[in-house]
Structure 1
Amino acid sequence: MGKMKKILAVMAVALLTLLGVAPAALASAPTDIVVEDAAGVLYQPQLLPAIAGINFRQPTKVAVVTIDGVAGSDVLNASVLELARDLHPEWLSSDGQKWADGLFIFALDPTARKVGTYMGEDLKVSAGDQAKIQDATKSLFGQAQWTDGTIAGVRKGAALINRPWYLSPGFIVTASIAGGAALVGLGTWLVLRKRNRSKAEELMKAGDASFANVSLDLDVTELNANTIPVHSTYGLQVLEKYRNFSTGYARAGVLNQQVHAFSQRELSQGKNVKIVSSYADAAIELDGLDDVIADTNTLLNKFSGWEAAWDRQVRPLRDDLDRLPELLNRSEARGLSSAAALGSFGVQTQDNLQLWASQIQTGRLQPESALDLLKETRAGLGQLLSSHSDDLIGEYAKTNSEAEKMRRTITDQRNYSTGYGRPNILGTVYGMNVFYSVSTFDHAYSSARTSVESARSSASSSGSSTGYGAGGGSFSGSGSSSSF
Structure 2
Amino acid sequence: MAPAAPEPLLFCKNAPEVPVSDLIVRWGGLRAVAAFTIKSLLIIVLGVIVPLYALDPFGATHTPAVEIHDEAEVLDDVALQTTLEDIGFRRDIRLAVFTTDDVDPYASSDTVFNDAVLDYALKEQPSWISTADPDVWADGLVILAVSPQGRWVGCYFGEDVKVDLRTQQKIQDAAKSSFRLARWDVGLETMAQRTADFVGRPIPSTEVALLVAFVSLAAALALLAWMFWSRREARDAYKQARRHFTQITTDYDATQIRAGTIPADDAHGAQVLARFAWFEERYAGLVRLFSDFGSPRGAQWFMSSRRRRAQKLAASAKELDRVDDVIAAASTFLTLGLGWEKVWENEQGPVHEDLASYAALCTAVVNRTRLAHVSFDVETDRAWIQKRRDRLAAMTVELAQRTLTPSAALNELDTIAAGVHSRCDILARRALAADTSRLGRERLGRYEYSRRSSAYRNSGPDYLGWWSARSGRMHYNPATTIRINSKSPGLRAPGLSSSGTGPVPQFSRPVANLVTGYSRASTYTPASSSSGYHGSGSSSHFSGGHSSHSSFHGSGSSSRF
TM-score (norm 2): 0.47
What SS class does the counterpart of residue 399 from structure 2 fall into?
helix
Which shifted more, 436-445 or 243-252? Answer: 436-445
1:211 and 1:287 in contact (8 A); partners too = yes
What SS class does the counterpart of residue 329 from structure 1 fall into?
helix
1:457 aligned partner, one-letter code = A
Counterpart residue number, 1:234: 268
Q: Give the whole-Å Cα distance in 2 for the aligned partners of 1:235 and 1:286.
A: 18
- Cα distance change of structure 1 residues 179 and 237 upon mapping to structure 2, 3 Å threshold: closer
Counterpart residue number, 2:389: 350
1:221 and 1:294 in contact (8 A); partners too = yes
- TM-superposed CA distance for 1:271, in Å, is 4.1
Q: Give the whole-Å Cα distance in 1 for the aligned partners of 2:362 and 2:318.
A: 35
- Cα distance change of structure 1 residues 364 and 253 upon mapping to structure 2, 3 Å threshold: same
Q: Give the whole-Å Cα distance in 1 for the aligned partners of 2:434 and 2:236.
A: 45
- Cα distance change of structure 1 residues 262 and 332 upon mapping to structure 2, 3 Å threshold: farther
Counterpart residue number, 1:247: 281
Counterpart residue number, 2:527: 457
Q: Give the whole-Å Cα distance in 2 for the aligned partners of 1:379 and 1:272.
A: 44
What SS class does the counterpart of residue 426 from structure 1 fall into?
coil
2:354 and 2:417 in contact (8 A); partners too = no
- TM-superposed CA distance for 1:259, in Å, is 4.2
Q: Give the whole-Å Cα distance in 1 for the aligned partners of 2:207 and 2:304.
A: 28
1:317 and 1:378 in contact (8 A); partners too = yes
The structure 1 residue matched to 2:483, chosen from 402, 419, 426, is 426
1:224 and 1:293 in contact (8 A); partners too = yes
Q: Give the whole-Å Cα distance in 1 for the aligned partners of 2:422 and 2:210.
A: 57
- Unpaired segments of 5 or more residues in structure 1? 19-171, 464-484
Counterpart residue number, 1:209: 243
Please tell me whether residue 389 in structure 1 is matched to residue 428 in structure 2.
yes
**CA distances 1:37-66 after superposition (whole Å, capped 9, x unpaired):** xxxxxxxxxxxxxxxxxxxxxxxxxxxxxx
**CA distances 1:100-153 after superposition (whole Å, capped 9, x unpaired):** xxxxxxxxxxxxxxxxxxxxxxxxxxxxxxxxxxxxxxxxxxxxxxxxxxxxxx
1:338 and 1:391 in contact (8 A); partners too = no
1:238 and 1:293 in contact (8 A); partners too = yes
Q: Give the whole-Å Cα distance in 2 for the aligned partners of 1:265 and 1:409.
A: 49
Please tell me whether residue 307 in structure 1 is matched to residue 307 in structure 2.
no
- TM-superposed CA distance for 1:235, in Å, is 1.5
Q: Give the whole-Å Cα distance in 2 for the aligned partners of 1:14 and 1:289.
A: 56
1:338 and 1:388 in contact (8 A); partners too = no
Q: Give the whole-Å Cα distance in 1 for the aligned partners of 2:519 and 2:293.
A: 40
What SS class does the counterpart of residue 387 from structure 1 fall into?
helix
- Cα distance change of structure 1 residues 182 and 6 upon mapping to structure 2, 3 Å threshold: closer
- TM-superposed CA distance for 1:180, in Å, is 2.9
**CA distances 1:360-395 after superposition (whole Å, capped 9, x unpaired):** 111111111111111100010110121133235436
- TM-superposed CA distance for 1:289, in Å, is 1.3
Matches within 5 A, 1:341-380: 341-380=380-419
- TM-superposed CA distance for 1:446, in Å, is 4.7
Which shifted more, 251-260 or 294-303? Answer: 251-260
- Cα distance change of structure 1 residues 342 and 309 upon mapping to structure 2, 3 Å threshold: same
Q: Give the whole-Å Cα distance in 2 for the aligned partners of 1:295 and 1:378.
A: 20
The structure 2 residue matched to 1:442, chosen from 491, 515, 533, is 515
- Cα distance change of structure 1 residues 255 and 323 upon mapping to structure 2, 3 Å threshold: same
- Cα distance change of structure 1 residues 258 and 380 upon mapping to structure 2, 3 Å threshold: same
Q: Give the whole-Å Cα distance in 2 for the aligned partners of 1:269 and 1:433.
A: 40
Q: Give the whole-Å Cα distance in 2 for the aligned partners of 1:185 and 1:227.
A: 58
1:207 and 1:280 in contact (8 A); partners too = yes
- TM-superposed CA distance for 1:193, in Å, is 3.1
Q: Give the whole-Å Cα distance in 1 for the aligned partners of 2:289 and 2:207.
A: 43
1:381 and 1:436 in contact (8 A); partners too = no
Please tell me whether residue 409 in structure 1 is matched to residue 445 in structure 2.
no
- TM-superposed CA distance for 1:305, in Å, is 0.9
- Kindly name which structure, 1 or 2, has the bigger radius of gyration based on alpha carbons: 2
What SS class does the counterpart of residue 363 from structure 1 fall into?
coil
- Cα distance change of structure 1 residues 415 and 449 upon mapping to structure 2, 3 Å threshold: farther
The structure 1 residue matched to 2:368, chosen from 329, 332, 355, is 332
What SS class does the counterpart of residue 458 from structure 1 fall into?
coil
- TM-superposed CA distance for 1:270, in Å, is 4.2
1:214 and 1:286 in contact (8 A); partners too = yes
- Cα distance change of structure 1 residues 282 and 178 upon mapping to structure 2, 3 Å threshold: closer
Q: Give the whole-Å Cα distance in 2 for the aligned partners of 1:301 and 1:387.
A: 38
1:288 aligned partner, one-letter code = R
Q: Give the whole-Å Cα distance in 1 for the aligned partners of 2:300 and 2:515.
A: 41
- TM-superposed CA distance for 1:325, in Å, is 4.0
Q: Give the whole-Å Cα distance in 1 for the aligned partners of 2:351 and 2:228.
A: 40
Higher helix proportion, which one?
1
2:448 aligned partner, one-letter code = R
- Cα distance change of structure 1 residues 193 and 255 upon mapping to structure 2, 3 Å threshold: same
2:333 and 2:343 in contact (8 A); partners too = yes
- Cα distance change of structure 1 residues 441 and 270 upon mapping to structure 2, 3 Å threshold: farther
1:338 and 1:384 in contact (8 A); partners too = no
- TM-superposed CA distance for 1:13, in Å, is 11
The structure 2 residue matched to 1:225, chosen from 230, 244, 259, is 259
1:418 and 1:432 in contact (8 A); partners too = no
CA RMSD of aligned residues (A): 3.8
- TM-superposed CA distance for 1:190, in Å, is 2.5
What SS class does the counterpart of residue 187 from structure 1 fall into?
helix
Which shifted more, 286-295 or 358-367? Answer: 286-295
1:196 and 1:270 in contact (8 A); partners too = yes
- Cα distance change of structure 1 residues 8 and 445 upon mapping to structure 2, 3 Å threshold: same
**CA distances 1:307-357 after superposition (whole Å, capped 9, x unpaired):** 111112111112233444444333226677684444222211110111000
- TM-superposed CA distance for 1:194, in Å, is 3.4
Q: Give the whole-Å Cα distance in 2 for the aligned partners of 1:285 and 1:433.
A: 20
- Cα distance change of structure 1 residues 341 and 419 upon mapping to structure 2, 3 Å threshold: farther
What SS class does the counterpart of residue 403 from structure 2 fall into?
coil
